[in-house]
Amino acid sequence: MASLWTHSSPFLLCNSSVGKRNIIDYNKGFCSPRSKLTDISTVETATRRSANYAPSLWSYDFVQSLSSKYKGDKYKEISQALKEVVRTMISKENGVVKCPLSMLTLIDDLQRLGLSYHFTNEISNVLEYIHSNFYESHEKWINMDLNLRSLGFRLLRQHGYHIPQDIFKDVIDDNGNFKGDIIGMLNLYEASFHSVEEESILDDARVFTTKYLKESLKNIEDQNFASFVSHSLDFPLHWILPRVETNWYIHAYEKRSDMNPTVLELAKLDFNMVQAIYQEDMKYASRWWKDTCWEKFAFARDRLVENFMWSVTENYLPHFQGRGVMTKVNAMITTIDDVYDVYGTLPELEQFTNSMNSWDVNAIEELPDYMRVCFLACYNATNELSYNMLTNKGFFVNNYLKETWQELCNSYIIEARWFNDGYTPSFEEFIKNAYISIGIVPIIKHAYLLTLPNVTEEALKRIKRAENLIRYACIIVRLTNDMGTSSDELERGDVPKSIQCYMHESGATEVEAKVYIKQLTLETWKKLNKECQKIDSEFSQEFIDCIMNLARMGHFMYTDGDKHGKPDMFKPYVLSLFVNPIEGLSYS
């Protein structure tokens, strides 16, 4: 990238047109207002990078044409009747004392089928009863088989109960092997991903069951069960996106011999009704995207539908009213990221960062047109949300929102300076900045605001107490992103990512570095799990789920490639989640 600055590592010397200089530390903020950039028009001939992103597969007209029949009172009435039948299944009186495994299996099915949000209180009451009567002490779980222990451990930990790993101590033989059948091993494998740091029994369980399931897979005669095992080995349940899992699980559940027809019917109907809501949300976001004209930026990714997927990830519940706003946030992050990573020259980026930090619309006069559009779109969207919050909730949030964009752009400019200098940071230095530059913090802070029942100064300050929770989720997205995209980014010319920083610092090969990053991802999940145990009483479950789902989104979007950057990879999920309803309903 061409630059009008003279510089030397680890500092950048910012030269103004009158020869004044400001020394900028990479980890500090923006150039002093005294430092005036050379007329921006003189850099129009600068060599610019191109990522050659593929065009969007989803036109404005296509998105606007989406429609569903699963709307209106008819389907609401059918759904309500089915829910009442299922509600009677979730009760202590229905045999939970005699067979807790059946009740836990039902709860697990409802969660994976995307139905549990309808039965929050009922599930909570049953789990409290099961915990008190079966899992509270060693004396109560001593006679359980591995399957019951593992499924109960996973579900109870997921719902905030601290079940100790010692529950698995006496299912280990003298050789360190776990005793149980293949169903028990599958549930133990899934349970092991709910571990926190220094839980060696669960670490051993994960290693043992992974090997056991891989070796057993070729000998399983029941192909439907084999698909469950293979699915879990591809993605442990704790790491998979809820809506992606729901779509997969409905089809898998339908083939099970113990399938409940009422539960299946409700799952299919609910999926299609929620899909109809998503379509309307996406059409709204698509109209905004067209009005901003950002899709005309040839250098940037036109990824409205992919960004909508991020907003569904952040909160998939049908009652959530903020998906349109969140899609705007995601789309703006994608485009501004491409401005910094791909197209902007360093002088332009320094001035754009200055403009974002000043948050002054008059400061953009010297920016090129494409940066003016970026700034104004972000500025206007932020002011619009601030206005809506003020009129609807009586609190002015503009400062809170603008700080999220300023923090992001200040992390982007650090990486732009690194690239401009040919500087490779240490691994620690990279992660310290890159967990911000991955762009998840603004998403989380906007989502937090949109899930608050009452917006107050104290509520906005409270998010600082979730700092560790947010950071660990961001690091997971950062690491999974680097595993899936770093090769493409380096090929087009970009700052070294976590893999390359680790290789540079440690002398490791690329293979060794990727093994290290995978292990670090696992260890960060343990920290994230622990933070969830500590913090869940301070924040709504919707907000905690948002953070956890964003960590899962890293695995979904970037495993085996870049679904966000390569539309063909993402296409099957658009069709299955947002376009095509699930067929086979009795009430269709």
User: How many C-beta atoms surround the C-beta of residue 387 within 10 A?
Assistant: 13
- Per-residue pLDDT, 48: 76
Domain ranges of the chain: 84-265
SS3 394: coil
Beta strand 21-25 with 11-15 is antiparallel
Per DSSP, what are the bridge partners of residue 16?
none
- Contact in structure between 572 and 305 (CB atoms under 8 Å): no
Residues 461-508: tens digit of each pLDDT: 999 999 999 999 999 999 999 998 855 555 555 678 999 999 999 999
What does pLDDT average to over the chain?
A: 88
Per-residue pLDDT band for 308 (boundaries 50, 70, 90) equals: very high
Separation of alpha carbons 217 and 16, rounded Å: 66
User: pLDDT band at residue 34, thresholds of 50, 70 and 90?
Assistant: very low
pLDDT tens-digit map of 53-108: 889 999 999 999 999 999 989 999 999 999 999 999 997 655 566 678 999 999 99
Helix (H, G, I), strand (E, B) or coil at 498: helix
Fold observed for domain 84-265 = Glycosyltransferase (1.50.10)
Among 211-215, 220-224, 547-551, name the one with the lowest average pLDDT.
220-224
7 — pLDDT class (breaks 50, 70, 90): very low
**Where residue 118 falls among pLDDT bands split at 50, 70, 90?**
very high
Please check the confidence at residue 191 and state whether its pLDDT lies above 80: yes
* pLDDT given for residue 486 in this prediction: 54
What's the rounded mean pLDDT across residues 418-435?
A: 95
Residue 429 confidence (pLDDT) above 90: yes
Residue 24 to residue 32: CA distance in whole angstroms: 9
Which range among 120-134, 191-205, 285-299, 354-368 shows the weakest confidence by mean pLDDT? Answer: 285-299
Which has more confidence, 281 or 297? Answer: 281
The model's pLDDT over 377-387, given as tens digits with 9 standing for 90+, comes to 999 999 999 99
Q: Which residues of 139-149 are buried (b: 16+ CB within 10 A; e: fewer)?
A: eebeebebbbb
Handedness of CA 22, 27, 28, 29 (dihedral sign): positive
On whether the CB atoms of residues 434 and 478 are closer than 8 A, the answer is yes
Helix pair 242-254, 100-112: axis angle to 10 deg: 120
- pLDDT score at 246: 98
Evaluate if residue 458 carries a pLDDT over 60.
yes
Contact 182, 190 (CB under 8 A): no
Q: Letter for the amino acid at 280?
A: E
- The pLDDT score that the predictor gives to residue 349 is 97
Contact 377, 362 (CB under 8 A): no
